[in-house]
Amino acid sequence: MVALQINALFKKTAPVPAKKTAPAKKPVPAKKPSPFVKKTAPAPAKKTAPVKKTAPVKTVKKAAPAPKKTVPMKTVVRKAAPVRKAAPVRKAGKASGVNQAGSDKSKWYGPNRRLYLPAGLLDINTDVPSYMNGTLAGDYGFDPLQLGKDGKIAQYRIAEVQHARWAMLAVPGVVIPEALGVPGGNWTETGKVFLDGEAGRPEILGNPYLFTAIEVALLAGVEGYRSGKLEAPAGFAPIYGKFEGKDFKGLDPINPGGPLDFLNVASTPEDLAILKVKEIKNGRLAMIAMLGVFVQGATTGGEGPATNWAKHVADPFAYNFVTISAIDRTPVL
């Protein structure tokens, strides 16, 4: 009986051994949940990822001050702006001769222009007529006879420019033919030579009436075209090329430009303003020169300016204004 009980005890305890518990090791697959844990483990990382996204926002805020630092760079550029003041280089362009205006124009136009007497001797407000306000080329404030007081100063300027141009043509036309020895070159004998037929074509030049009629017709045509009463004919100008009469409509009758400025010397209004001053100054000098030719011819008995100049250069002390105008006095006892 005791042996049976002992055997029973051994049998009861036999299952107790870890043999049956060994299968418990099979739950080792419980390690499989670990992948889930690993899968869930990254989940918190994803939650923290947005934190990283917000971090750049902070850096952007820090980067924002950076443009503020670049603002001083703009102020530096403004300091460099004085370089623009160096633009007076343009003044050098004006001095090049292409553009002759700029500061030079103020010498001839406006209230600060040059007057016919030095500064300090004239008061522009009291000594210079109000109608001479510096708008016309060559306005020196000189009108002692008050000719422009009637309000026709613009018409007088047209007449002055026309006479100035005729005088500038007349001076070389008087001096050059006489110096070259052309028949009738002496202006005091030109008419006589033409009338005598010594210059050729006596049937025309020898007839004073026909010659006068031709001259009047030609000048009438010129004046008609200038005044605009007649439409100028088509023509051709060097460099400019062909032009039509309508090309002159609306242009200044005294300084039309266009086809007549085929060299384009007055390409800008400033250049034209300065050229007007030069023209009227040379024209006035030419008118005075022609007056001198007339007086000298009458004083020397009809001699021309070329002859007068040659005699004076040959013997300056024996042939001059004093010796010519001196009265021959015979001493009386």
State the binding site: 116, 160, 163, 165, 205, 278-279, 282, 284, 296, 312
Q: For residue 179, what is the enclosing H or E element?
A: helix 153-180
Show the 3-state SS of 290-317: HHHHHHHHHHCCCCCHHHHHHHHHHCCC
Angle made by CA atoms 292, 172, 226, in degrees to the nearest 5 = 100
- CA neighbor of 237 nearest in space, from 255, 266, 261: 261
C-alpha to C-alpha distance for 228 and 226, rounded to whole angstroms: 5
Residue numbers in the known binding site for chlorophyll a are 163, 205, 278-279, 282, 284, 296, 312
Cα separation, 195 vs 210, in Å, equals 11
Q: What is the C-alpha to C-alpha distance for residues 189 and 183, in angstroms, rounded to an integer?
A: 9
In angstroms, the CA 226 to CA 218 distance is 12
Annotated binding site for chlorophyll b: 116, 160, 165
Torsion of CA 277, 280, 285, 289, to 10 degrees: 160
Of 97, 128, 92, nearest in space to 112 by CA: 128
